[in-house]
Structure 1
Amino acid sequence: MEFTLNIFTLNCWGIPGISKNRRERIEAISKYLLTSDHNVVCLQEVWSERDYLYIKEFLSSVLPYSHYFYSGVLGSGLCVFSKWVIQDVFFHQWPLNGYIHKIHHGDWFGGKGVGLCRIKYLDRLLNIYCTHLHAEYNEDDIYLAHRVLQAHSTSEFVNITSSPADISILAGDLNTAPGDLSFRLITQIANLTDPCNVEIIGETTSMIKPLGTCDNINNSYSNPKVTKLCPDGKRIDHILYNVNPNCDVEIKNFKNPLEERVPGQDFSYSDHNAVSLEMRVKFSNAKNRDRPKSSYDKYDNTVVEAIKGLLDIGLIVFSQM
């Protein structure tokens, strides 16, 4: 059996009363998704229930199944839309979620975490994880410890819950670039693959080197001072995957859609660029659901680095008290 899995993820920057052009952008995002070939969509920062319900109704003819992950005071901002039946859902809230006195950042009030939608396609199971890790608001990065712990918690959750699935996808704004400690924790402990890895790109892949998804010079909301230093921006929004040994996967397309402006407007779809991944999946007849699991022995260096980093941050904070 073969089928095409086409994933889309976007941080929608949908904060009521704060995000610029929110209503027009939500409508434009919905119109794009209605005519696209994506069969699974993961959105972040959909903070308004009204916006979620609007998107849900607008896409009901093409992506009839959806779920919004309610959490905390404001909601997690995470939602998933699917062409196929969502069989089960679960939300894993992180134990560390910013500071309550940082009201303008909002992470504590959102009760953020990672959402899981288990989707059934024929007799196969797809685990779709949608998440949004804590942002780095400035160079001092007082939230580094939060993000590292969130990354570890996410990777453990994916690692523990992915065994029944034939394919596992983690999509969202991870606020961490390839090579960063948080990114290595997520990919190594959960055995997740980055499609940008040149070793897995096939000859038939339609793929252009992806640019940064945040602070990109092509985005109308990017800070000119930041883009002047790094025009390509940072690649912090990702679609990562893991497949069972009974699956053969070919990456057909990996790109940043919606890089252009909203039609008829002078602003972008969001302050982040979207990411999409198209993969051709072929199943063998044998339903071998066993997959190699991660090993802390194999990734000792990464785990030790994370522990040392958290201890150093704790000592710095303690010395300032």
Structure 2
Amino acid sequence: MSMPNPTAGSPDHTLKVFSFNVWGLAFISKDRHARIRAIAEYLASSNYDIVCLQELWVYKDYEIVREEILQNLPFSRFFHTGALGSGLAIFTRFPLIAAQALPYSLSGSPAQAIAGDFFVKKAAANIVILHPVLGEVEIWNTHMHAAGEHPPDTRQAHRIAQSWQLANAIRSGAAKGRYILAMGDFNSQPWSVPVGILRHHANLSDSFLDVHPNANNYASPHPSAVDALSRYGMTCDSNLNTWSADKNIPDNVQEQGGKRLDYIFYRQPAIARRRPLVWGYRDDVGEEDSGDAQNGELSGDGHLEAGKPIPHSIAKAPRLRCVKSEVVLTERVPGQAFSYSDHFALFSTFTIDPADKPKPSETGPTASSSSSQGQSSFTPLVPLITQTEPEQVNANTTTFAPYDPFGSPTSARRSSSSLSTVKSSTVRNALNTLRLYTRISQKTAQQHLKICAAAIVALIALTIGSAWQPKSWLQPIFTLVGGLLGAAGATFLYTGFVWGRWEEGLLKEVTEEMELELRVVEMEEKVNA
């Protein structure tokens, strides 16, 4: 049975994406049950295509949300990492063809037990969906290490390492010909190094910034609480959020109306591959099915084909473009006096432009002539390229950046040079922070080992001294103190030696990766100068 091709006005030509930190800590988050139920009811009454939730720590809460929105978003995944889980969940109306959790290599220190990041093992959740127009779309949902924005402490350095790890994974997905959506609570403001790495190393676009170009330029005088949300995308520490009253928010954050910590990023594929022909998973294709596929129609008995990565085939690929992005769920829970969470949610709407439609910023003969080379690829699940097309390389650049079929050679070199300069600056800032923190980490490990040695010496002295203690009632005290000294010695041995060496090695690995990337970028700068 063949399926009709969707028209340009069909729902498949828009993507409505929703991201929300629901603050769902068991026993700690206030009014959690009422808030989770209200969030589930809100999502059930909405028409989102993709929903990513963070801090959904309790699996039963995930089940509540899943059951409530099952009719609208039938495909979902809850991700398990660490001792207490990642708190990440993804819901979508499109079929899942792959899913994985990517635990971050560096996610807090075991010495910071109260923060808990080390034990929950912060991660990035990943699924691949099969979209009827775009083909494979890779979705990332993450919640990065919190706080530590200014001094080079554990949280800041680890968040830089996390963004680097995520950026590399995103680049890998784009190299497979997949569209990318990456969202969540990044715990980083727009000017921070982690956001810079994601934008300039992973080549991600900020959907809110695309729609609100001045979002990162804080107004003077300071914006109102409403403007801070609508114009600058502040999702956390807003005066309009009832849970902000319990926080010790710095004056400068209050003056700017909060923090922008939640993002919905996206990017086009680095290359275009042959897309899935149908939403089927059989390995065999009959003659009748092959005929339908050749005629541009869809059958239910097809298979997935892997095509050659041809850079110029990007000209025939549809483009994701953000047309709307706003902070939502800013009101209070119906019938209650509190907000849905200590964060506000972020919602972005994307439209899928045909390949022969130039970007809004592109006008003139170059754009029109280049775009006319590729036909519209809105026929869903039909190969973007044919096997008869020869493989080509982009002779206008020596970089590994995606080929832009709409740009002229001169503008391509100028754009590449500008992007390389920004990227090199971002990588240098990241390296400076990591190198400084590596020295701090080494000193901290040495201090913990000294404490371990002192605890062992004290334990030995206590053991020897207990043989000559004159009072029998002192024996239980000696035993208790000895147990505490033994526990302290074992703990600081782990944090000083095992974790100390572990963290040092991981930091060196990330640093060496960045140094290599910096050398490549610097060579590109010289070539494009």
* TM-score computed with the length of structure 1 as normaliser: 0.90
What does residue 349 of structure 2 align with? 278
Structure 2 matches for 1:22-61, cutoff 5 A?
22-61=32-71
SS of structure 2 residue aligned to 1:267: coil
Instruction: Verify: 1:230 aligned to 2:354, yes or no.
Output: no
Are the equivalent residues in 1 in contact too, given 2:212–2:232 (CA < 8 A)? no
Structure 2 matches for 1:303-318, cutoff 5 A?
303-318=427-442
Going by fraction, where is helix more abundant, 1 or 2? 2
Instruction: Verify: 1:241 aligned to 2:241, yes or no.
Output: no
What does residue 133 of structure 1 align with? 144
Distance 2:334 2:232 in 1: 22
SS of structure 2 residue aligned to 1:233: coil
Distance 1:31 1:151 in 2: 33
Are the equivalent residues in 1 in contact too, given 2:148–2:156 (CA < 8 A)? no
Distance 1:92 1:225 in 2: 32
Are the equivalent residues in 2 in contact too, given 1:41–1:82 (CA < 8 A)? yes
Change (3 A) 1:283 1:125: farther
Distance 2:204 2:191 in 1: 14
Identity %: 30
Structure 2 matches for 1:256-295, cutoff 5 A?
256-284=327-355, 285=376, 287=384, 292-293=401-402
What does residue 164 of structure 1 align with? 176
Q: Spell out, residue by residue over 1:37-71, the C-alpha distance to the aligned partner (whole angstroms, 9 max, x if none).
A: 21100000111011111111111111000001111
Are the equivalent residues in 2 in contact too, given 1:215–1:227 (CA < 8 A)? no
Going by fraction, where is strand more abundant, 1 or 2? 1
Question: Which segments of 5 or more consecutive residues in structure 1 lack a partner in the other structure?
Answer: 202-206
| Larger RCO (CA under 8 A, 6+ residues apart) | 1
SS of structure 2 residue aligned to 1:156: helix
- The more displaced of 116-125 and 172-181 is 116-125
Residue 196 of structure 1, CA deviation: 3.1
What does residue 221 of structure 1 align with? 243
Distance 1:308 1:252 in 2: 37
What does residue 17 of structure 1 align with? 27
Q: Give the letter aligned to residue 309 of structure 1.
A: T
Change (3 A) 1:211 1:199: closer
Distance 1:97 1:197 in 2: 28
Are the equivalent residues in 1 in contact too, given 2:174–2:268 (CA < 8 A)? no
- The more displaced of 164-173 and 273-282 is 164-173
What does residue 204 of structure 1 align with? none
SS of structure 1 residue aligned to 2:195: helix
Residue 316 of structure 1, CA deviation: 3.3
Question: Which segments of 5 or more consecutive residues in structure 2 lack a partner in the other structure?
Answer: 1-6, 214-228, 270-313, 356-375, 378-383, 386-392, 394-399, 404-415, 448-529
What does residue 177 of structure 1 align with? 189
Distance 1:52 1:198 in 2: 32
SS of structure 1 residue aligned to 2:22: strand
- The more displaced of 116-125 and 139-148 is 139-148
Aligned residues: 315
Residue 248 of structure 1, CA deviation: 3.0
Instruction: Verify: 1:110 aligned to 2:120, yes or no.
Output: yes
Change (3 A) 1:308 1:39: same
Are the equivalent residues in 2 in contact too, given 1:114–1:129 (CA < 8 A)? yes
SS of structure 1 residue aligned to 2:67: helix
Aligned with 2:206 (options 194, 202, 215):
194
Distance 1:250 1:155 in 2: 20
Distance 1:198 1:162 in 2: 20
Change (3 A) 1:198 1:51: closer
Q: Spell out, residue by residue over 1:73-126, the C-alpha distance to the aligned partner (whole angstroms, 9 max, x if none).
A: 111111100011111112211111111232222211112211111011226111
Distance 2:323 2:181 in 1: 16
Change (3 A) 1:165 1:273: farther
Distance 1:197 1:221 in 2: 26
SS of structure 2 residue aligned to 1:31: helix
- The more displaced of 298-307 and 108-117 is 298-307
- The more displaced of 118-127 and 87-96 is 118-127
SS of structure 2 residue aligned to 1:13: coil
Residue 227 of structure 1, CA deviation: 6.7
Change (3 A) 1:317 1:47: same
Residue 142 of structure 1, CA deviation: 3.6
Q: Spell out, residue by residue over 1:173-225, the C-alpha distance to the aligned partner (whole angstroms, 9 max, x if none).
A: 00001121111011111110012335887xxxxx9414311111111111464
* TM-score computed with the length of structure 2 as normaliser: 0.56
What does residue 425 of structure 2 align with? 301
SS of structure 2 residue aligned to 1:18: coil
Structure 2 matches for 1:61-72, cutoff 5 A?
61-72=71-82
Aligned with 2:18 (options 5, 8, 25):
8
Q: Spell out, residue by residue over 1:135-180, the C-alpha distance to the aligned partner (whole angstroms, 9 max, x if none).
A: 0068755411111101111111111122334421001000001121
Distance 1:293 1:151 in 2: 21
Q: Spell out, residue by residue over 1:247-278, the C-alpha distance to the aligned partner (whole angstroms, 9 max, x if none).
A: 23443321011001111111110011100001
What does residue 121 of structure 1 align with? 131
Are the equivalent residues in 2 in contact too, given 1:125–1:164 (CA < 8 A)? no
- The more displaced of 86-95 and 9-18 is 86-95
What does residue 155 of structure 1 align with? 167
Are the equivalent residues in 1 in contact too, given 2:140–2:183 (CA < 8 A)? yes
Q: Give the letter aligned to residue 305 of structure 1.
A: N
Change (3 A) 1:137 1:314: closer
Are the equivalent residues in 2 in contact too, given 1:46–1:78 (CA < 8 A)? yes
Instruction: Verify: 1:252 aligned to 2:323, yes or no.
Output: yes
